[in-house]
Amino acid sequence: MTLSYTPIAEIVDDIEARLSAVERISLFLDFDGTLVPIEADPRIPRPDQATVDTLKKLAGRQSLVTTIISGRAVEDLYSRIRVEGIIYAGNHGLEIFGRNLHFVEGVAWNRRGDLERLTDELSALLRPIEGTLVENKGLTASIHYRQAAPESLPGIQDLVRKTVARYDPMFLLTQGRKVLEIVPATNWNKGSAVQWINDQLGGQRVLSIYAGDDNTDERAFRTLPDAVTIKIGHLPETDARYRLPDPGALQELLLELTIASELRCCAEAGGEGCSERGELTDDGHQ
């Protein structure tokens, strides 16, 4: 099946056409597979300097709030990006920090002990299978098997499924891109997190832009039917409005967006420029 990707200019045109009617842009970016290419070893991905520079530019806009939303733990996410003035939503949105926001979902917090027992069990069971990695991220866990031999995959999945089932109904097992995710059974997901962040930021006329590559991002796409939603990568099914092939294409779009928001900023300032005006009070990561 051949997928057709959206020309970047078409997405930029859509955003620019809506800018005059909004008071703020709320930009949501997934991390792995969206902002950075996916690596076989999940410990490797870090944004390159150009991406960090773009994020810094976006973080300096008064009328634009950037959130990085990921399955990684918030501390892990922050340690890879280290840009102040943006919001970090970790563990699929179960924990949210930055720009004076501080949220941890209560059910997930209370199940940390159970999650630790579950991941200890899984680590022991999977240790003999080469190429697997059990990662306890505090509120959720990931079972990475990208480096495992293809013939061992059914066995890995079966073992994980049976172990998680013994903790029923506390945890759910979901399939990501070559990763199994163990999440506490709550009503919270990336879609709820996006809604919560927008509610906290307030404002009537907000344009949300959301880019993501994974199944978990689909919840957010559905939560934001009027938003500029962008699916990254080649998974065929999506509820996103647009589609880009890879993080490189998203990087191009983000650069265009920094220029568009700079122009908007200048227009608001009556052509005076906005380098000072656009600076945010840097409350940093909490």
Q: Give me the residues that bind Mg ion (CB under 5 A), please.
A: 30, 32-33, 213-214
Least separation in angstroms between residue 75's CB and Mg ion is 18
| Biggest alpha carbon–alpha carbon distance for the chain | 66
| 3-class SS letters over the chain | CCCCCCCHHHHHHHHHHHHCCCCEEEEEECCECCCECCCCCCCCCCCCHHHHHHHHHHHCCCCEEEEEECCCCHHHHHHHHCCCCCEEEEHHHCEEEECCEEEECHHHHHCHHHHHHHHHHHHHHHCCCCCCEEEECCCCEEEECCCCCHHHHHHHHHHHHHHHHCCCCCEEEEECCCEEEEEECCCCCHHHHHHHHHHHHCCCCEEEEEEECCHHHHHHHHHCCCCEEEEECCCCCCCCCEEECCHHHHHHHHHHHHHHHHHHHHHHCCCCCCCCCCCCCCCCCC
Nearer to Mg ion by Cβ, of 135 and 213: the residue is: 213
CB of 218 or CB of 264, closer to Mg ion: 218
Beta carbon nearer to Mg ion, 98 or 233: 233
Cβ distance to Mg ion smaller for residue 105 or 214: 214
Our CB check for Mg ion shows the closer of 33 and 60 to be: 33
Sheet containing 228-232: give its strands across. Answer: 101-104, 95-98, 87-90, 64-69, 24-29, 206-212, 228-232, 242-244
First to last CA, the chain: 45
Q: Closest approach of Cβ 100 to Mg ion, in Å? A: 26
Cβ distance to Mg ion smaller for residue 80 or 111:
80
Q: Which is nearer to Mg ion, 129 or 235 (CB)?
A: 235
Nearest-approach distance from CB 94 to Mg ion, in angstroms? 16
Shortest CB 28 distance to Mg ion, Å:
12
Nearest-approach distance from CB 66 to Mg ion, in angstroms: 16
202: left (phi over 0), alpha (psi -120 to 50) or beta: left
Rounded to a whole number of angstroms, the minimum distance from the CB of residue 268 to Mg ion is 34
Nearer of residues 30 and 105 to Mg ion, judged by Cβ: 30
We find the least distance from the C-beta atom of residue 136 to Mg ion, in angstroms, to be: 19
Least distance to Mg ion, CB of residue 34, Å: 5
